[in-house]
């Protein structure tokens, strides 16, 4: 078996890499995992991968094998995705291509739109054009939020709708555009494809190893980080008002669950589109209350959306002019849920209750919200 993976040094991509290697080992598969990655400064692509294969958060089964043995399953293609060229077509003939790399940026700033689009959609078009003659299937890792602003129950099919989705930011739009491109091109040439869409990725929750670990803190973690450090710096906490739709929620799914579903399903032919999401979104009011309680910031209120909102405190202004303006569209959006019937039949969705949510925040706080950069 041959598998090509992009984004192996990323939050989700690293866990997909772990799952594939574990699959090769436990199922005694003779396979090669091609990792398209690049150097980062003086840190070579190989060294970056080695760090991920030998850290305190690497799965035990891989640690026991050792880095040298793991490399017998690996071939590293050291290149930048934007500059990739075909110099390895004979090696990758008949491979599955899992495109997990992406530029996650929820910015609503106009001057960021072009960069976000290019780093997601344009690069996807480039690598598809380069690789499609040689591969047997293209698997695109999108986002469940490319569904846009939707009410009610959201099905897995985003591309046979009788309306055009309204997106909250350039990231959602770029991912949706990429999905369209992949689907249309694959249909045109008869190449099998899959579009797999995780929602907001949270810390690990399956098994006994490194529970709640996540290598990079994004989305709801960023809010916790902001108020954790604000609470430490300020003697007197200034009031902050959160603009929310009290009915809505944030759909959060553990990173190891997403990776396991991807590796369990990429060979299946019965699900061209699949949302890898929780069956129940976490209520935004409850989430905010738990986060602020855990980080020790108590001076806040909740309010409905308003057109004449004006800042009353310095901290409120700082929040809404930084991460708050990117999170607000998700806090005020219409309430919805996802149809997880097919997903749950593939792998049972783990329970995400108040205790588990608090454990994610607590893990991040204990680790001082420090990202692991390789």
Q: Could you tell me if 271 and 342 are in contact, meaning their C-beta atoms sit under 8 angstroms apart?
A: yes
CA distance 245 to 263: 35
pLDDT at 39 (0 to 100): 86
Answering whether pTM is above 0.85, one says yes
Residues ≥6 apart with Cβ < 8 Å to 28: none
Long-range contacts of 54-61 (CB under 8 A, 24+ apart): 55/372, 56/210, 57/210, 57/213, 57/215, 57/372, 58/18, 59/18, 59/22, 59/209, 60/209, 61/22, 61/25, 61/26
Q: Could you tell me if 291 and 220 are in contact, meaning their C-beta atoms sit under 8 angstroms apart?
A: yes
- Domains in the chain, start-ordered, CATH in brackets? 2-202+251-276 (3.40.50.720), 220-250+282-335+351-366 (no CATH)
The whole-chain average pLDDT of the chain stands at 94
pLDDT digits (tens, 9 = 90+) for 256-315: 999 999 999 999 998 899 999 999 999 999 999 999 999 999 999 999 888 889 999 999
pLDDT at 191 (0 to 100): 97
The confidence band for 167, taking pLDDT boundaries of 50, 70 and 90, is very high
Partners of 241 in the β-ladder: 301
pLDDT digits (tens, 9 = 90+) for 218-238: 999 999 999 999 998 867 899
The confidence band for 62, taking pLDDT boundaries of 50, 70 and 90, is very high
For tokens 């190893």, the residue is 209
Q: How far is residue 89 CA from its own chain's centroid? A: 29
pLDDT digits (tens, 9 = 90+) for 74-129: 999 888 777 777 677 778 999 999 999 999 999 999 999 999 999 999 999 999 99
């Amino acid at each position: 078996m041959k598998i090509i993976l992009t984004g192996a040094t990323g939050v989700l991509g690293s866990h997909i890499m772990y799952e594939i290697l574990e699959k090769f080992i436990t199922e005694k598969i003779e396979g090669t995992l091609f990792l398209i990655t690049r150097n980062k400064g003086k840190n070579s692509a190989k060294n970056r991968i080695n760090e991920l294969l030998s850290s305190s958060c690497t799965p035990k089964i891989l640690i026991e094998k050792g880095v040298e043995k793991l490399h017998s399953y690996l071939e590293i293609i050291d290149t930048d995705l934007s500059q990739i060229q075909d110099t390895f077509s004979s090696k990758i003939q008949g491979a599955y291509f899992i495109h997990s790399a992406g530029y996650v940026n929820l910015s609503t700033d106009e001057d960021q739109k072009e960069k976000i689009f290019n780093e997601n959609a344009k690069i996807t078009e480039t690598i598809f054009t380069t690789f499609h003659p040689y591969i047997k299937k293209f698997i695109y890792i999108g986002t469940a939020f490319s569904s846009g602003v939707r009410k009610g129950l959201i099905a897995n099919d985003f591309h046979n709708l009788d309306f055009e989705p309204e997106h909250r930011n350039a990231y959602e739009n770029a991912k949706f555009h990429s999905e369209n491109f992949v689907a249309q091109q694959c249909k045109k040439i008869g190449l099998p494809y899959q579009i797999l869409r995780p929602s907001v990725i949270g810390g690990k929750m399956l098994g006994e190893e490194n529970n709640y670990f996540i290598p990079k803190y994004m989305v709801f973690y960023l809010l916790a980080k902001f108020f954790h450090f604000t609470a430490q710096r300020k003697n007197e906490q200034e009031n902050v008002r959160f603009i929310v739709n009290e009915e809505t929620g944030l759909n959060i799914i553990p990173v190891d669950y997403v990776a396991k579903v991807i590796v369990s399903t990429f060979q299946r032919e019965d699900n061209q589109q699949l949302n890898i999401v929780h069956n129940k979104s976490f209520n935004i009011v409850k989430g905010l209350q738990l986060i602020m309680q855990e980080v020790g910031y108590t001076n806040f209120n909740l309010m409905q959306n308003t057109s004449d909102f004006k800042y009353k405190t310095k901290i409120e202004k700082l929040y809404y002019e930084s991460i708050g303006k990117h999170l607000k569209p998700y806090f005020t959006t219409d309430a919805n849920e996802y149809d997880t019937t097919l997903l749950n039949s593939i792998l049972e969705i783990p329970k995400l209750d108040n205790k588990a949510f608090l454990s994610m925040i607590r893990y991040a706080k204990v680790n001082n919200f420090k990202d692991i950069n390789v």
